[in-house]
Amino acid sequence: MPDVIVLFGGPSPERKVSVASAQHVASVLEEAEAWFWAVEGGIHRVDRVALLAHEKPFETEFVPRSKASFASLEAALDDPGSRKAVFFLALHGTGGEDGTAQQMFEDRRIAFTGPGAEASRKAMDKEWAKKLVSAAGVRIAESIRLPRGDAKAVRDALLGFLRRQGSVVVKPVASGSSVGLYMVHTGADAEAAVAGVSGAKEEYLAESFVQGTELTVAIVDGENGARPLPPTEVRVERGGSFDYANKYIASGAREITPAEVPAEMTRSAQEAALAAHKALGCEGYSRTDLI
C-alpha cells in the first residue's frame, strides 16, 4: 500500500482552514505523514502530534518546528520518494483548490485526492462554475462582476445592482471559506464593500441575495458512480451571516446533519449537487452550497 501524505497550508488566506482540515484527516489516518506548505513556499515535514496539538487553528497561524525539507512544492514532488505516495490534499483557496497544485501533481503523474486540475479551475472561478452549472439545468443567483481598482466605478456598479436586487452579497470570484464576504442591504453596507473591493488584488462579483434554507451537499464517487451524501443545513442567527467568523470562530451559526428539511427539498438539493459535480467534471468528491 502506498504511503499517504497529508498536504496542508499553502499561500492562500484560507491556510488556517487548511490546518483544521489537516487535523481532522490526521486524526483518522494515523499512519499518514503530514507536510506543511509554508507561505514562503517551503515544505516542512510535520510531526502528527504537533499538528494535532495546534490550538485554535482558525485564528492562529501554524508554525512548523523544523526547517523546510524542500524549498518548494515542486521540489518536494520531484523527490523520488513522492512518486510512491498518495497525497491527501487538505488545501484551501488560491494555489491549493484552483488547479495550481493539482496541475503539479498531474504533470508528475503523482496520485492525489479530489478533482483534477481542470475541474478545480472551473469550480474555483465562481462565474465560470455558474455558467457550467446553469447550462446543466441548475438555477443560479443573478450576479455581475465588479470593476477593479476604481472606487467610483465599483460604487456605481454595486449601487445599480443593489437597486435592482434589493440586497446583494459581494464575494471574491475565486476564493472560499467566506473570506472577503460582504452582505449589502443598505448604502452604508455598500460603502464598506466598496472600500474593501476597490483596494483588493483579487476580482469580486456581486450576487443577488437569496433568502431561504441554506444547504450544503457532498458528492462522493464510488464503484457505482457518484452519489450524494445527506445534506447539511446551515442555520444562522437572525441578522447574521455565514461569514468566516460565524463559520469557524463564533457560535453564530449551526450546522445540522442530516438537514431537518422536507424529503422533497433533500432530493432536489442532492440532484442539483450531483448535476454540478458532473457539469464541472469533478472526480473523487465535491461539495455544493445551495439555498
Give the model confidence (pLDDT) of 153-165 as tens digits. 999 999 999 999 9
Range in 228-237, 238-247, 274-283 with the lowest mean pLDDT = 238-247
pLDDT digit string, tens, across residues 45-58: 999 999 999 999 98
Residue 48, number of CB atoms within 10 A of its CB: 18
Determine the Cα–Cα distance for residues 234 and 277; give it in Å rounded to an integer.
20
| CA separation, residue 55 to residues 47, 50, 61, 194 (Å) | 15, 10, 10, 34
Determine the Cα–Cα distance for residues 115 and 287; give it in Å rounded to an integer.
11
174 confidence band (pLDDT: 50, 70, 90): confident
> Quick one: pLDDT at residue 201?
83
Q: Which fold has domain 4-113?
A: Rossmann fold (3.40.50)
Beta bridge partner(s), residue 182: 170
- Each domain of the chain, given as residue ranges in start order, spans 4-113, 126-138+211-290, 143-208
What is the DSSP secondary structure assignment for residue 189, as one 8-state letter? H
Q: What is the mean pLDDT of the chain?
A: 92
Give me the mean pLDDT over the 126-149 stretch. 95
Q: How far apart, in Å, do the first and last CA atoms of the chain sit?
A: 41
Answering whether pTM is above 0.85, one says yes
> Quick one: pLDDT at residue 252?
63
Give the CATH class of 143-208.
alpha beta
Give the CATH class of 126-138+211-290.
alpha beta
Beta bridge partner(s), residue 112: 87
Kindly state the cell numbers that stand for 127. 462565474
State yes or no: pLDDT of 149 exceeds 90.
Answer: no
Beta bridge partner(s), residue 218: 287
State yes or no: pLDDT of 261 exceeds 50.
Answer: yes
pLDDT digit string, tens, across residues 81-127: 999 999 999 999 999 999 999 999 999 999 999 999 999 999 999 99
**By percentage, how much of the chain surpasses pLDDT 70?**
93
Contact indicator for 68, 27 with CB cutoff of 8 Å: no
> Quick one: pLDDT at residue 142?
96
Determine the Cα–Cα distance for residues 91 and 82; give it in Å rounded to an integer.
17
What is the DSSP secondary structure assignment for residue 80, as one 8-state letter? G
Determine the Cα–Cα distance for residues 30 and 53; give it in Å rounded to an integer.
14
